[in-house]
């Protein structure tokens, strides 16, 4: 990757670039073709990610620099500025979010230009959605310790492959949103997570702040995972949010 000068100034928003141990699941799609952007968004949502989309480089750069995204899918050919410029500007603004660049141009020169601008990976169109998913998973794992198939806490197991939960001898099927919410809670044990933090990681930018949807999904998880067991794992912290784990 080519060297990009970076001198962060006070007040620059870096969003998800500052990790706090939370799971990664919020993705920004910058793609000028509404049909393709919508298809990618639907596919990612079906696989448990929160995905936002926009259609111009200007808007994409602004969102990428100010919102807590964990990965950016960036089209090279945009109507107002190309993806290379967007990526280079994000890196100059100290945004270290992984960038997966999409383009119909597949020459070596095009790939080098994108990578030198700060992109982390490159996928030529047309592509199979499963390959896009695999590259996203690889980028989200990059730089992190390798993990196995299961996340465990006390007697609860979450299978990252089958997307099912098991507690004791009982197994539970989870909806996509239940899975994403439970994964986030289990990756942040014994931390009080506010509704705002949960919304930023599990929902997209269309989330209504006044909605009770988070409480509804927490209640749904409790019915599946807590009510039939002696030790509850999901706790409401009045006025603050939720905490996952065994209370001392």
pLDDT tens, residue by residue, 126-165: 899 999 999 998 888 775 544 567 888 888 999 887 888 9
For residues 20 and 195, the answer to whether their CB atoms sit within 8 Å is no
pLDDT band, very low/low/confident/very high, at 96 (cuts 50, 70, 90): confident
Whole-model pTM: value is 0.61
What pLDDT score does 151 carry? 83
The whole-angstrom separation of Cα 28 and Cα 52 is 5
pLDDT exceeds 50 at position 17: no
Most confident of 3-12, 118-127, 150-159, 234-243: 234-243
Neighbouring C-beta atoms of residue 126, cutoff 10 Å:
7
Q: Which region, left, alpha or beta, applies to residue 190 given φ > 0 means left and ψ of -120 to 50 means alpha?
A: left
Neighbouring C-beta atoms of residue 109, cutoff 10 Å:
8
Rg (C-alpha) for the chain, rounded Å, is 19
Domains and CATH numbers, the chain: 15-141 (3.40.50.2300), 150-244 (1.10.10.10)
- The β-bridge partners of 172 are 165
What pLDDT score does 33 carry? 93
pLDDT exceeds 80 at position 31: yes
Q: DSSP labels for 212-227?
A: -HHHHHHHHHHHHHTT
């Amino acid at each position: 990757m080519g060297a990009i000068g970076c001198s962060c100034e006070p007040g620059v928003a870096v969003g998800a670039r500052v990790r706090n141990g939370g799971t990664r699941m919020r993705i920004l799609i910058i793609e000028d073709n509404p049909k393709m952007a919508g298809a990618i968004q639907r596919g990612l949502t079906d696989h448990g990610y929160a995905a936002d989309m926009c259609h111009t480089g200007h808007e994409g750069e602004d969102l990428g620099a100010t919102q807590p995204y964990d990965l950016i899918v960036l089209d090279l050919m945009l109507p107002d500025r190309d993806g290379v410029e967007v990526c280079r500007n994000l890196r100059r603004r100290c945004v270290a979010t992984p960038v997966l660049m999409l383009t119909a141009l597949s020459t070596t020169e095009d790939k080098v230009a994108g990578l030198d601008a700060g992109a982390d990976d490159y996928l030529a169109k047309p592509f199979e959605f499963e390959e896009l998913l695999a590259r996203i998973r690889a980028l989200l794992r990059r730089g992190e310790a390798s993990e196995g198939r299961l996340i465990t806490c006390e007697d609860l197991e979450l299978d990252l492959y089958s997307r099912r939960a098991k507690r004791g001898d009982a197994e539970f099927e989870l909806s996509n949103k239940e899975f994403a919410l439970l994964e986030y809670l289990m990756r942040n044990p014994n931390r009080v997570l506010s509704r705002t933090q949960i919304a930023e990681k599990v929902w997209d930018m269309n989330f209504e702040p006044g909605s009770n949807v988070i409480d509804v999904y927490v209640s749904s998880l409790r019915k599946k995972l807590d009510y039939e067991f002696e030790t509850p794992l999901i706790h409401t912290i009045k006025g603050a949010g939720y905490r996952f784990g065994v209370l001392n």
